[in-house]
Structure 1
Amino acid sequence: MGILRISELEKHNEHTVVFPAFNLEVSEREVVAIHASTNVRTTLLNIIMGGASASNGVVYINNETIEKSRGTFLAKIGGFFLQDGLYERLSVKEHLSFYQSIYGSTLAVDEVIRMVQLEGKRNQRVGKLSFSEQRRIHFSRLLFQNPDFLIFEEPDQNIDLETKRIFLKLVRAIKEKGKAMLVLTGNMESALAITDTVYRLDDKGFHTLDIRAEDNEKDLAEEKSKDELGNDEVIVQPVRFEKIPTKVNEKIVLFDPPEIDYIESSDGQSLIFIKGESYPCMFTMTDLEIRLHPYGFFRCHRSYIVNLQKVREVVTWTRNSFTLVLTDDKKSSIPLSKTKMAELKGMLGLK
């Protein structure tokens, strides 16, 4: 039986479907991500935390429901939310000591300060910390609380790379303790950095995203190609397309390939990202991969194509989790699959 169990949960606002009925179970040592719009994420979060009622269905935490016992239900949940506040006049150590006290934790304050890497800021007021450092304070609260189930809302939004490393390390430690975790995000890269179990929730339903199949699909495609072509040798002549068409309102806008930062596939639609703005493109990811290859573009993931000239860093989170950090103003980060990491190393002449 899962720690979190969602049964036939659905939400309607008058005549509008926010999301239809769906089921989900998250067990011990399991991390699951739901990729959804802001409205869907906020609505689901409010239902789970008791801030809103569902149109139908039930949410269970270790077989408890909020209707049966609100206090017992909420005591089992640890939350990391975008709107979490802090006591800015307290120092880091005072803040963590407060958490230790209210949760009755035996975890040492100095140990947690070390875990979130704020040793040099222990006596500094929280209000003087950077946004990323303040988010580490919120991480520490969950360590003292030690709940059965943890729910994260956009956990790595606008944080620096060091804080993201700390977060992923803490997720692994919490997972080893037998906890269950649910991540709500609108950023696919965030979801993939944390887990391979990703779902999409929208007004059309609850869909499993096929993340693990990437490498197998490549092999199957190659085998299919060989079967169809027999022993005939096929020579593909690369064609240089000088412009990539996108559609803005009712107009077709043409972009030069060097302008493009990266391309993402979302709900079957290819989105071209340029200086933080996205533009829908009529071509498939496979079409774009072929067209843009002569310009130094690389299919770094099943759902992403990146302009290698815009890549600043290759970050390793775990043995199987990698991210490319770009040179744009937002320092965009996009996922790099394990297989593609090996291919990229070969391209760079690295072992």
Structure 2
Amino acid sequence: MTLNMGGVDVTNLVDSLNALKLSSHSCVVANTNQQHDIISYFAHKDAWIEDFSTPFHERLSVKEQLKFYMKWFNHMEDIHRILKQFGLLDAQHIKIKKLDYDQYVLLKVAVAYLQDKDIVVFKNILHNLKVETIDCILNVIPLFNEHHKVLQLLSYIDHALLLSNEVYQVKKEQMKLLEIHAEAPDETLSVTQAINTDATNTMNDLTSGEPNVSLLNENHNNISREINRQLTRNNVFRISVKSEDKTLFINPEDIDYIEGADGKVNIYLNNASFKADYTLSELEEKLKVYGFYRCHRSYIINLQKVTEMITWSKNSYSIKFDGLENTFVPLSRTKVKEMQGFFNNQMVQFTEN
């Protein structure tokens, strides 16, 4: 069966959504069209959908508006507590028409909390907000967990990492769970300490005059198992980057391009950038086998994402990528022929401007 939303086949996306086991708070990073399709899907699930575009009654104050919705949804919490929790205490007597955007968003989130549907879908909740407002939202989102499941539709991975540890990325109409974990004590250090402890125990047994052969063999096996575990893990290559207090493990195939500037290396994917603790030369060597190419002294590109090579003048060239309409990465003049050799005209468009 083929499913269409707005004339577009989204069967794979709908299958992914049907298979999604929502936790209390999940995030999906997607482009605008995909977000529209996901909203259409959840609209049929009778979810509360908030895209922060619909107006309130302008003549009411914030407190009056909340009182109305609390009565409408038969919500029995103290209104003073709601105003305080959602950062609206100082704005409670302000008329809706005089609210700034941050106050409007906080009021929208508060109303979503008061309503009685099981699933709440927020679209780009952190977009264009002040730091203080973002901090308030991060504090109130856990309040939803008791009675609601929250799905965040977002355009940026860094926003998703702030909101949840369960982040999905839509790739070619399928959702892929990103591998993320919160910061913890350095695992390598603990492993090293464990190995050193075993080694110390072994040396103590050897010098005690009466070594325990069984214990020596056990210590040796422990060390061997740990070394093998480390080697096995290192064979699965991911690029680790940090965002706030979390670490994101990036699959090479998800990267659009990598930029080196001012002694720092930034990795770009899905409209977000992350700083990496590698040099460009190190990444160039590691990523060759994944189809990456050093197109410029300051850039490495994912050849699978290239859609167009633009000739601006005799000595000026740029690369464009799938899904990044306004992004142009420079291509060195000396690399042009080699780049052309990677593609045929059926795959990549060569344009003269």
Q: TM-score range by the shorter chain?
A: 0.5 to 0.7
Aligned pairs, how many?
222
- Based on CA coordinates, which of the two structures has the bigger radius of gyration? 2
Output one character per residue of 1:240-285: Cα deviation in whole Å (capped at 9) or x when no partner: xxxxxxxxxxxxxxx882398x724426x99699xxxxxxxxxx98
Pair 1:266-2:246 in alignment:
no
- Give the C-alpha shift of residue 11 in structure 1: 4.3
Paired AA for residue 280 in structure 2: L
Gaps of 5+ in 1: 1-7, 51-58, 60-73, 229-254, 274-283, 292-351
Choose from 240, 251, 257 the match for 2:261.
257
Output one character per residue of 1:324-348: Cα deviation in whole Å (capped at 9) or x when no partner: xxxxxxxxxxxxxxxxxxxxxxxxx
**Contact 1:105–1:144 under 8 Å retained in 2:** yes
Q: Kindly, what percent of the aligned residue pairs are identical? A: 16
DSSP-derived class of the 2:168 partner: strand
Determine the structure 1 residue equivalent to 2:115: 145
- Give the C-alpha shift of residue 179 in structure 1: 2.5
**Contact 2:63–2:93 under 8 Å retained in 1:** yes
Taking the aligned partners of 1:152 and 1:17, their CA distance within structure 2 comes to 21
- Give the C-alpha shift of residue 155 in structure 1: 1.0
- Give the C-alpha shift of residue 151 in structure 1: 1.2
Gap change, CA 1:288 and 1:99, over 3 Å in 2: farther
Taking the aligned partners of 1:125 and 1:256, their CA distance within structure 2 comes to 49
Taking the aligned partners of 2:2 and 2:267, their CA distance within structure 1 comes to 30
TM-score by length of 1: 0.52
Gaps of 5+ in 2: 189-226, 236-258, 284-353
Paired AA for residue 80 in structure 1: E
Pair 1:109-2:79 in alignment:
yes
**Contact 1:150–1:181 under 8 Å retained in 2:** yes
**Contact 1:19–1:201 under 8 Å retained in 2:** no
Determine the structure 2 residue equivalent to 1:197: 166
Determine the structure 1 residue equivalent to 2:334: none
More helix by share: 2
**Contact 1:35–1:186 under 8 Å retained in 2:** yes
Determine the structure 1 residue equivalent to 2:25: 31
Matches within 5 A, 1:329-348: none
Paired AA for residue 209 in structure 1: L
DSSP-derived class of the 2:33 partner: helix
TM-score by length of 2: 0.52
Taking the aligned partners of 2:262 and 2:148, their CA distance within structure 1 comes to 45
Give the structure, 1 or 2, with the largest relative contact order (CA under 8 Å, sep 6 or more): 1
- Give the C-alpha shift of residue 16 in structure 1: 5.5
- Give the C-alpha shift of residue 79 in structure 1: 2.6
Taking the aligned partners of 2:272 and 2:110, their CA distance within structure 1 comes to 38
Determine the structure 1 residue equivalent to 2:51: 81
Determine the structure 1 residue equivalent to 2:65: 95
Taking the aligned partners of 1:202 and 1:125, their CA distance within structure 2 comes to 43
Choose from 266, 280, 283 the match for 1:288.
280
Gap change, CA 1:266 and 1:111, over 3 Å in 2: same
- Give the C-alpha shift of residue 137 in structure 1: 0.7
Cα RMSD of the aligned pairs, angstroms, is: 4.1
Gap change, CA 1:106 and 1:49, over 3 Å in 2: same
Paired AA for residue 40 in structure 1: Q
Determine the structure 2 residue equivalent to 1:207: 176
Determine the structure 2 residue equivalent to 1:156: 126
Output one character per residue of 1:22-66: Cα deviation in whole Å (capped at 9) or x when no partner: 243335x6211111111101111022114xxxxxxxx5xxxxxxx
Determine the structure 2 residue equivalent to 1:179: 148
**Contact 1:32–1:181 under 8 Å retained in 2:** yes
Determine the structure 2 residue equivalent to 1:340: none
DSSP-derived class of the 1:121 partner: coil
Taking the aligned partners of 1:179 and 1:78, their CA distance within structure 2 comes to 10
**Contact 1:18–1:40 under 8 Å retained in 2:** no
